[in-house]
Structure 1
Amino acid sequence: MDGHDGDNSKQSTADMTVFVQNLLQQMQTRFQTMSESVISKIDEMGNRIDELEQSINDLRGEMGQDGAPSPSASLKPKEEPKTTDDSA
Structure 2
Amino acid sequence: MAEHRADAREDSEMAVTVASPDPKNVQELTQYVTVLLQQMQERFQTMSDQIITRIDEMGTRIDDLERNIADLMTQAGPEEPDK
Smaller-chain TM-score bracket? 0.5 to 0.7
- For the aligned residue pairs, the C-alpha RMSD in angstroms reads 1.7
Structure 1 gap ranges (5+): 1-10, 69-73, 75-88
Q: Percent of aligned positions with the same letter in both sequences?
A: 51
Cα drift, residue 20 of structure 1 = 0.2
How big is each residue's C-alpha offset from its partner over 1:28-69, in whole Å with a ceiling of 9 and x where there is no partner? Answer: 00000000000000000000000000000000000113xx5x
Cα distance in 2 for partners of 1:46, 1:64 equals: 27
Q: 2:66 aligns with which of 40, 43, 53?
A: 53
Structure 1 segments of 4+ aligned residues over 2 angstroms from their partners: none
Cα distance in 2 for partners of 1:37, 1:28 equals: 14
Largest Rg, 1 or 2? 1
For residues 7-86 of structure 1, the aligned pairs below 5 Å read 12-65=25-78, 68=79
Structure 2 gap ranges (5+): 1-23
Cα drift, residue 19 of structure 1 = 0.2
**What number of residue pairs does the alignment pair up?**
57
Cα distance in 2 for partners of 1:20, 1:29 equals: 14
TM-score, with normalisation over the residues of structure 1?
0.61
Cα drift, residue 25 of structure 1 = 0.3
